[in-house]
Amino acid sequence: MQLIDSPELIVTDVIATHTRLRPNKTAVVCGEDRLTWAQFNARVDKVANALLRDGLKKGDKVCLLLQNSIAMLEAMIGTARAGGVTVPLNVMMARDSLAKMINNCEAQFVIANSETKGQVDEIRGQLDNVRAANFFTTGSADDDWASYEAWLEAAPAHDPNVKLTFADSFSIVYSSGTTGVPKGMEHSHFARLMYPLCVGKEIKVDRESVSIMTTPLYTNGSFLTMLPTLYFGGTLVLMQKFEACEFLRLVARERCTNVFMVPTQCILVMAVEDFGDADTTSLDRIMVSGSPLARHTFDELRAKFPHAQLFEMYGMSEAFMTCIGPPDYARGKTGSVGQAIYGADIRIIGDDGQELPWGEIGEVIGRSAALMNGYYNDAERTWELLWREPVTGAAFMRSGDIGRFDDDGYLYVVGRKKDMIISGGVNIFATDIEAAFITHSAVSEVAAIGIPHEKWGETPLLLAILNKGASVSEADLMAWGDARLGRFQRVSAVEFRDAFPRNALDKILKRELREPYWKDQEREIA
């Protein structure tokens, strides 16, 4: 007879232990509000018990339409502790997409605030599964919205004692798609545990870490810092909305040790006029992901944060991740996206679906312990992403990125399938064009896209955003860049833009950039 059951110490279990081990340590800070671990854990228990009291069953979905706040964080963890599935929604999502997401995940509860509940009111009649009593607001209550605080006040602050396993679902995070139904990535408690155990190890998060959250909690990238910090008992500093000057102020005030940022945020911080007066000496680890980090931005980051270790992350939220950091840069691997973490298995396949040897260029595919269960209620799009290992049948996810391995097992990403420009039958990587133009001193950001061409099928166009106060003509910039490219890579034109369309993690939405040029064409843009 087995006398002792091996505990499955999932994220919510470990968070509860911090109340006993470090009850008076600060767990979370947002604005002027802060909670100790004892206070935060009590709030999490209240959320869990309130949901259970109102009928939540294991696997039920709770949609959160909130900006970064302590309420959002406690609702995410409280939902998981109750056995529910937390579904953080992008507050900038279009109305129709919002309704489709809430229905797609079969949500039973919706929690919003004064700024977002109007978005839900516009689609309330389209929602299939949320009972009238299960709409809660952290703002002012009314006939249609119950008070979130009153709801919690009536709930006990003790462990709800819901038995959770690694296989139970933790979250569904939707992509930032702009058309149709965004894809909902469903991750288990085991997959989410890999964030602290694998990512946390790579970026050296521990109980002394003070992590500042610059990205929205409804993005998957935010889990990279949030879950390791909570798991190891550090302190989370939530920015309600990213603003470069406020970031510098909070780093100094809270003595923040690490941060996850997207490249655009890095650029904005370094452009602050009185950056040199800011005290950033506490920052020890800067993690960048979301889109490629231009070499001049990389160099400037290392120059302006000489005391910090710079890590770059690459991967797909559905399947795997790589990391590159200071030891790799010292080996001359700058430009690579690093090596696999999560114990990931990453390979390269050709257009025929056959695996390619190291050194050859093809599509990057991968799998890891953080593999998603699939796109929720969307088997068709899940199948479209799969590649099966011929011998074992193991499922790998297709990234859509083009890359190669070097002899040391470092991965280099050279482009994206959808960004491939095929001009006169010649493959042109948009990243090669962008890498040339971004080095111009007047240029802040660039995006290369393919546009229709009567003779060649398509031809490269360079879109550019200039630095504030910089001046260069479109013709001069085109000539400057083309002089640094091969003849087949040269662009047909340069156009200046004030901004690019972006998703929640600041990735440039190239489909939106291409769309106006292809709307009257017979060919559908990728």
Q: Using 50, 70 and 90 to split pLDDT, how confident is the model at 19?
A: very high
Q: Note the Cα 305 to chain centre separation in Å.
A: 23
Please report the pLDDT score of residue 201 as a whole number. 85
Torsion angles phi and psi, residue 304, rounded to 5: -85, -20
What interhelical angle do 37-53 and 11-21 show, nearest 10? 140
Mapped onto helix, strand or coil, the DSSP state of residue 520 is coil
The whole-angstrom separation of Cα 398 and Cα 416 is 12
Decide if pLDDT at 526 tops 60.
Answer: no
Q: Using 50, 70 and 90 to split pLDDT, how confident is the model at 426?
A: low
The whole-angstrom separation of Cα 328 and Cα 226 is 25
User: Exposed, middle or buried, 379 (CB in 10 Å: 0-12/13-18/19+)?
Assistant: exposed
More confident of the two residues 49 and 179: 49
Please report the pLDDT score of residue 505 as a whole number. 67
What interhelical angle do 430-437 and 474-482 show, nearest 10? 110
Contact 239, 250 (CB under 8 A): yes
More confident of the two residues 428 and 232: 232
With CA atoms as reference, report the closest residue to 232 among 266, 195, 267, 261: 195
DSSP letters of 123-173? Answer: TGGG-SS--GGGEEESS---SS-EEHHHHHHTS--S-------TTSEEEEE
Please report the pLDDT score of residue 54 as a whole number. 97
Give the rounded percent of residues in the chain with a pLDDT score beyond 90.
Answer: 70
Q: Is the pTM of this model over 0.85?
A: no
Decide if pLDDT at 427 tops 90.
Answer: no
Please report the pLDDT score of residue 431 as a whole number. 80
Q: Which helix (H) or strand (E) holds 312?
A: strand 309-316
Decide if pLDDT at 240 tops 80.
Answer: yes
Decide if pLDDT at 267 tops 90.
Answer: no
Mean pLDDT of the chain: 90
Mean pLDDT is lowest, of 191-195, 268-272, 418-422, for 418-422
Mean pLDDT is lowest, of 65-74, 84-93, 207-216, 451-460, for 451-460
Average confidence (pLDDT) over 128-134:
94
Average confidence (pLDDT) over 210-227:
93
The whole-angstrom separation of Cα 438 and Cα 481 is 9
Please report the pLDDT score of residue 512 as a whole number. 86
Average confidence (pLDDT) over 27-38:
97
Average confidence (pLDDT) over 94-118:
92
Average confidence (pLDDT) over 227-236:
96
Is the C-alpha dihedral spanning 337, 339, 345, 348 positive or negative?
positive
More confident of the two residues 186 and 139: 186
Q: Using 50, 70 and 90 to split pLDDT, how confident is the model at 114?
A: very high
Decide if pLDDT at 522 tops 50.
Answer: no
Q: Using 50, 70 and 90 to split pLDDT, how confident is the model at 165?
A: very high
Give the domains, in start order, of the chain with CATH numbers.
Answer: 11-21+33-189 (3.40.50.12780), 200-415 (3.40.50.12780), 421-518 (3.30.300.30)
Please report the pLDDT score of residue 523 as a whole number. 43
Average confidence (pLDDT) over 460-471:
92
Q: What are 473-492's pLDDT values in tens digits?
A: 999 999 999 888 877 788 99
Please report the pLDDT score of residue 392 as a whole number. 92
Rg (CA), the chain: 24
Mapped onto helix, strand or coil, the DSSP state of residue 307 is coil
Q: Using 50, 70 and 90 to split pLDDT, how confident is the model at 511?
A: confident
Please report the pLDDT score of residue 479 as a whole number. 93
Please report the pLDDT score of residue 1 as a whole number. 54
Please report the pLDDT score of residue 117 as a whole number. 93
Mapped onto helix, strand or coil, the DSSP state of residue 107 is strand
The whole-angstrom separation of Cα 364 and Cα 7 is 36
For the beta carbon of residue 41, count every other beta carbon within 10 angstroms. 26
Mean pLDDT is lowest, of 355-359, 395-399, 452-456, for 452-456
Give the rounded percent of residues in the chain with a pLDDT score beyond 70.
Answer: 95
Average confidence (pLDDT) over 459-468:
93
The whole-angstrom separation of Cα 251 and Cα 237 is 9
Decide if pLDDT at 525 tops 50.
Answer: no
CB environment 218-232: b (16+ within 10 A), e (fewer): bbbbbbbbbbbbbbb
